[in-house]
Amino acid sequence: MIDDKLDHKHEDEELFEHFTFVADDGQQLLRVDKFLINLMRQTSRNRIQKAAEAGAIRVNGKSVKSNYRVRPGDRVALVLAYPPRVIELLPENLFLDIVYKDSELAVVNKPSGMVVHPSYGHYSGTLVNGLLHEFQSLPEASDSERPGLVHRIDKDTTGILVVARNEYTLAFLAKQFADHTTEREYHAIAWGNIKQESGTIIGNVGRSLRDRKIMSVFPDGKHGKEATTHFKVLERFGFATLISCRLETGRTHQIRVHFQSIGHSLFGDQTYGGDRIPNIHGYPRFKSFMENNLSLCPRQALHARLLGFVHPVTLQKVKFEIPLAEDISQILDRFRVYATSGKIID
């Protein structure tokens, strides 16, 4: 007999789920893959074995292989991509900027305005459509419209994404994202002069209790999921600050809502107040200057610059870096001129 409890968590920002089963006192010795297959009849044995190979099956907190024999009282945890839904995806030649690829994975530089995967109102032109044109087939991920994906970034955020090209790599990378062992660095422009040279923002992030379409920070921890953002100041302009952010967690809109919570919304972020121009620096002239800047970068000035992870075959740590998107670079050049000379670039 098996304890009937199933821990099925859905994280908006993670494209995989966590299952937990506890073996009954009367459990006979049984291979862990067979143990899970008996309980998860909707999941193929191959997917479960691939998860074991990638270290995504744990018994009592330790990774095990498929031939581990489950004993009475064992707590068996499994990380898998969400089960597929039936949907037709069409390959599209979107001229993706693929900065690296091998037989296991691909690293992509996503432009602003591109949705990562199909969703309501976005049935074509997504990164997934472009990936299917490039690679013809990708492993099933969270559902049929997310093949190969283990993480994502917002539509208007630019920068780096890794994509799995087979089931083993998908499971291997998914475990690293689930365990928060990947290295992720973002660059962003925040309104205002952040006082500290570096710091950490800690506060649960979850759906707003007033508007479910946006996220909120819950410092008391009563709602949302734990979230931690480390930041460092790279450059100051007085009215804005260029920052580097490293994430321990990857919650939906984490950087955007964390900086809004400390009074420094990201430049151009229409959802979290970053499109409102502060009344400073001789307001009419400054306002006109910033309106032009917002038209050049009509999105949150947020760029996924660096991604590091352990390669599924070499088992070596690899890092990929993507230069700042052109619109953010243009804004920074204009800010530098204004901050040092007071001159406005039209």
Domain boundaries, the chain: 2-81, 97-177, 183-341
What is the radius of gyration, based on Cα positions, of the chain? Answer: 22
Give the Cβ contact number of residue 310 at 10 Å.
15
Dist CA 209 CA 153 (whole Å): 23
Same fold, 97-177 and 183-341: yes
CB 294 within 8 A of CB 286: no
pLDDT tens digits, residue range 208-251? 888 878 999 998 888 889 999 999 999 999 999 999 999 988 89
pLDDT at 15: 60
Please name the CATH architecture into which domain 2-81 falls: Roll (3.10)
pLDDT at 50: 83
133 alpha carbon, distance to own chain's centre: 23
CB 191 within 8 A of CB 275: no
Active site (catalytic) residues = 154
Element (H, E) at 167: helix 167-178
Please name the CATH architecture into which domain 97-177 falls: 2-Layer Sandwich (3.30)
pLDDT at 6: 37
Q: Strand ranges (DSSP E) for 262-335?
A: 302-310, 317-321
What pTM value is reported for the model?
A: 0.75
What is the residue-level pLDDT of the chain in tens, covering all 346 positions? 444 333 333 333 456 677 889 999 888 899 998 899 888 877 777 888 888 888 889 999 888 988 999 999 999 998 876 555 545 688 899 999 999 999 999 999 999 999 998 776 677 889 999 999 999 888 876 556 688 898 999 999 999 999 999 999 999 999 999 888 999 999 999 999 999 999 999 999 998 888 878 999 998 888 889 999 999 999 999 999 999 999 988 899 999 999 999 999 999 999 999 999 988 766 688 899 999 999 999 999 999 999 999 999 999 999 999 999 999 999 999 999 998 887 777 6
Half-sphere exposure of 119 (CA within 13 A, CB side): 9
Dist CA 176 CA 150 (whole Å): 10
pLDDT at 141: 62
CB 284 within 8 A of CB 258: no
Dist CA 248 CA 227 (whole Å): 7
Dist CA 250 CA 229 (whole Å): 9
Closest CA to 40 of 61, 56, 20, 60: 20
Domain 183-341 listed as CATH 3.30.2350.10 = yes
